[in-house]
Every structure is written in C-alpha cells, then in structure tokens.
Structure 1
C-alpha cells in the first residue's frame, strides 16, 4: 500500500506523508480538501486500497506577541562524562512573512565560538514545534545574548540541549498565538447568484477583495478566507448556485485571525 503513496509523492512534491507512531495512522498533507480527495480516490482506483478517511485537519503556524529572554542550562552526567552548557536567548517577533533568523550578540568569550553553530541548530530545531499546539513557529528572531562555559565539560550535546531549553521557555513566555493559513479563492457564478455567494463567503469569515464581470453573464468574486472555513465549500457552492458555480483556491499567506 505504501508503494502507492510513494508513487503519488514522487509525482506531486506538495503531497507529504508521515506516520503517527501513537495511533498508527498514516497522515497525508496536501494543498486542500479537494487535493486530498483526488489522492484518496486514486489510491482506491489505481491500487485497490481500502481507505478509512478522517476529517481533514488544518496545519497552522505559531508566533509570539512579546519580546522575551530565557535561560537554558544543561549540567548533567551522560555515559560517565559530565556535560555543561548554559545559554541565554532573547526571542522577539518579526514582521509577518520574515521567517525565522538566529543572530549571535556575544561580545565576549563566555561561550567558545565553536559552539555557536550547535546553539543555532538547537534553537532552529526547537522552533519547529511551538508552545501552544506544537505547530511550527514563524517570524521570530532568536538572539544569543549570553551564557557560560566550563573547561573540559563543554560539549555539543550540552549546548544543543541548553539552547533548546532556553528557546522552549522563551516561546512559553512570549504570549504565543496561532496563525491561520489564508487561501485566495476565486468563485465564478452567474450574476443572479452573486448575493448568495457573497453572503456565504462572508459567513465563513471571508474578506471580499473584488467582484468582476466576466463573459457570458458570469461574475468572478475574489476573496481571502481561512482554510478551516473552506471545508465542505464545494457542496455549499453547488447548493447555492444550482450546480452552476465553480471556484479555484490557492494558498495566500499565514496571518492571525
């Protein structure tokens, strides 16, 4: 069965798959509800798979509201050897869409330069799982502001772990919040259905950006909506337009809703 999934992944780089070790479920991630429906249909048709499909889930992002500092300390014995590392970080929010970045602001030799890359690695890996719901963290700057080192006890392990601990603590203190994936939706409908369609989009927290006249009496409505509000939209649109409406949808950006 997994050979079939691997075939689809090879054909479509936007399709992702992972195994949930706790539940044994195979989780497919794609560009939207219709995308996943097509993949499931192909799995059943081309490979004869018996597929039990759960309700789609939205993959959010996380960020932080406030600038915060935190300290991470690893001071333990591992495999008969003592490891020590202390890291102080400052996390601050960046403008939306900036992505994450790491900077070192050390002005002394409190931590040997050789450990800076492993501290960055520990921070960046920690940002892959936020403090709220374990979604990836975006648009955050992590600055290394201080720390300490003990001769013969410093190690890559100690500084990777202490950086991760400092980052996790800062994420908790920074007033974390969720970012919704927002989709740009274009709906094509006969003019007589425009009012009903706009009403439905607005009820789904949609922001109408434009309404344009197309050929043959069609109107094109452009809106931006949270992906979570788009589940089941195909059925809703068919019902509202007597089967005469169609729509396209693509990812726009992440933002707070």
Structure 2
C-alpha cells in the first residue's frame, strides 16, 4: 500500500507492536552481515518475519545476540529498550525501520551528511578487481557516509567520504581486512553547482524520423532554492495540457540533468523547478520524449539563470599550546578560514574556525611543523558555500581541461 503520512504514537512497552531501528551494519567474516538494533517497543524474537518499512521488504530474523564490547551472547528475544544484533536481515541498512507486517510504522530516519571528498581507487593487480568490488560493497553497506560510484566518463571507481582521514581508514581496512592491495588517486573536493537567478524557460522537442516521431513541449520556472533543499519540483499544469502520466518523466529528466551541471560538470543542488505549461501530441509524445525535453530545458534554463560554484566548508577545532595561537590562527586565515573563537584551558588553546575543505589537504603535517608536534585538530562537515570568483575560475578551468582529456 501507500504511506498516508499520519503520525502514530508508540509507547516503549513490550505489549505494543514491534518498532526497531537498525543503527549500524557490520560485515563479519564469521557470521556474515550483522545488523545492530535498538528495540523501541514490542518484542523481537528469533525466527520472526518482520517488515523493513523503509524498503518495503519482509525478512526473517535468523539469530539474535546481546553484544558486550567484542563479545556476543545468543538470546531468543530482544525486548523494548534493548540494544542487540541480528543475523539474517540481508536487505536492511543503517537507518531502516523494522516492524510487524500487520502494524507498519516508519521511525524518523537518521540524517547522514553527503560525502565531501572523492578519490579514485584501483586494485594493484587486475585479478583483484572482484575482491575489491566485494570489499567496497561491504564497507558501503556498513557506512552510509561512504559512497562508491563509477565515473561515467573515465570508467574509474570513485570512493567518496567525509574527509581525508575517513578515506585513509577505508583504504587501510581494504588492505588489512580484505587483503586487497590498492592504488589511490589524489583526493578531489566534491564541489557542487547552483543557480543564481530566476528564469522562465520554454523548450520543445520535435523529431520526425519516419513512423512515430518524438514530441514534447514544456514551460518551466527555475529558481534558487534554500541551502540544503536539493530539488523542489512542483507541477502547476492545468487542463490536461500535459497528461499526468508524463509528469514523472519531466521530473526524472530534470534529476538526470542535475547530475552534471553546465558550469563544470559537478552535480547541481538547491533549485526549485515549477512545471507551468506545455503541450503534447496524441501519437508522438512519450515518457522518453518528455524526459529528454525536460533535461534540455533544465540545462538551458540554468545557463540563462547563471551558475555559481559551491564548495564544502568544514568546522575545524585546533588544540595547541598557547604560544602557538598566533601562527596557527594566521595559517587558518591564509587558508580562507574564519576563526570563530578560542577557549583556553590549562595552557592549551582550542581555536574554532570554518575553513574550506580544499584548503585543508595535508594540514596534519603542517600543524605538526608549526607546533613541533604538540598540536592536534578535528574537523567535520559544516555546509556548502559559494567559492570566491578567482578560485572558482581556476577550479572550473582545471575541471573542463580534465573532462576534455587534457588534465592540467
């Protein structure tokens, strides 16, 4: 059936129907896939058939465990309030809800930030290609902030994560746990593109090649969206000017166009697209025609609206002895960073700053040099921000040269 979106209240009692959240997935070489669960209500028993409400699939619980550090104790059931692990939930991922098929419920999902750093990875020996693919699949199933994809232009396998250290740990695990020797490329910042202005755009696709042709006609309004909003698509076509069955194809075409922006080929984010009007042909119109037409419409409208390059900005906390505050703060400012504040505790200063990720490569060795090995830092993703024009010009020209097969 379809979700109705109504709010359901479940109490943390054993008498209530089951509601459990998978908060971690781990690949175990002895038992296979281990799913860690928190049971919020009801009782989960060995052998139960449960509904994964997030994915709409039913699964049978194989075995259940209570977990204490690295020790697992088999149990027959997990009750409301318990945290444990299950075997047999092969199609369950981090953030999925488990419930009884007769009492479906979707718990609020865990929000994961999008990866901000890409790196090419290849096996040192071609014969290890399958082993590497299996290792990457295992690791991606465990960690929702780790993404594996293939670059459609170069055919390279790209891994994406939350920073240099994250990807270094992943690569080390591939070598140590899975026994695959790999070679990695230089990390690449995951830039994004977005539109600046508002544009109303009309696009027609008319092709006649003997027999059935292709016909689609759309009028769209393209506007900047709120930061972090992704794509907001609205259909305001009235009077059946475009049949309802073609509307999803229009949205699909826009999503396809957003995967590779017109500025430098980076994904487009945070846009509003409103389908205002259009027309169709009884014979020549099809889902494919409207998908292609919408794809062209988005690209052309985005170019007319003007594009801006966005970069990931990190929250950085640097801990150093007080005498090094000046050089460290100056170093962060030279990296286009903004120092937000500083706390001092027992002779150690903690500087808080926002710094573009592109400027943070190799910072650990730089900080060691400045502080004679007495400084440390942590960083995590904060938000995307517009790149200054002179930096953007450099990034765009390098990207276009690389896409044309002439790396700078």
Shift of 1:151: 1.9
Aligned to 1:234: 364
1:183-222 matches, within 5 Å, as 183-214=314-345, 216-222=346-352
Mean Cα deviation higher: 150-159 or 173-182: 150-159
Q: Secondary structure at the match of 2:182?
A: coil
Shift of 1:94: 2.3
Using structure 1 for the length normalisation, give the TM-score. Answer: 0.92
**CA 1:23–1:63 in structure 2 vs 1: closer, same or farther (change >3 Å)?**
closer
Shift of 1:80: 4.4
Stretches of structure 1 that go unaligned for 5 or more consecutive residues are none
Shift of 1:24: 4.1
**CA 1:143–1:17 in structure 2 vs 1: closer, same or farther (change >3 Å)?**
same
Q: Secondary structure at the match of 2:336?
A: coil
Which deviations, in whole Å up to 9, do the C-alpha atoms of 1:158-213 show, x marking residues without a partner? 11111111111111211111111111011111111111110110000000111011
1:44 to 154, 175, 180: 175
**CA 1:212–1:126 in structure 2 vs 1: closer, same or farther (change >3 Å)?**
same
Aligned to 1:66: 197
Contact 1:104 1:145 in 2 (8 A): yes
Aligned to 1:164: 295
Q: Secondary structure at the match of 1:115?
A: helix
Which deviations, in whole Å up to 9, do the C-alpha atoms of 1:86-129 show, x marking residues without a partner? 11112111232333211123244322233222212222232222
Stretches of structure 2 that go unaligned for 5 or more consecutive residues are 1-131, 388-408
Contact 2:259 2:268 in 1 (8 A): yes
Aligned to 1:249: 379
Q: Distance in 2 between matches of 1:128 and 1:22?
A: 13
Q: Secondary structure at the match of 1:47?
A: coil
Mean Cα deviation higher: 180-189 or 150-159: 150-159
**CA 1:145–1:22 in structure 2 vs 1: closer, same or farther (change >3 Å)?**
closer
Using structure 2 for the length normalisation, give the TM-score. Answer: 0.59
Contact 2:197 2:305 in 1 (8 A): yes
Contact 2:225 2:232 in 1 (8 A): no
Q: Secondary structure at the match of 1:151?
A: coil
Higher relative contact order (CA 8 A, sep 6+): 1
**CA 1:8–1:98 in structure 2 vs 1: closer, same or farther (change >3 Å)?**
closer
How big is the alpha-carbon RMSD for the aligned residues of Structure 1 and Structure 2?
1.9
Structure ID, larger Rg:
2
**CA 1:99–1:9 in structure 2 vs 1: closer, same or farther (change >3 Å)?**
closer
Aligned length: 256
Q: Distance in 1 between matches of 2:186 and 2:245?
A: 47
Shift of 1:46: 2.8
Q: Distance in 2 between matches of 1:15 and 1:94?
A: 26
**CA 1:256–1:148 in structure 2 vs 1: closer, same or farther (change >3 Å)?**
same
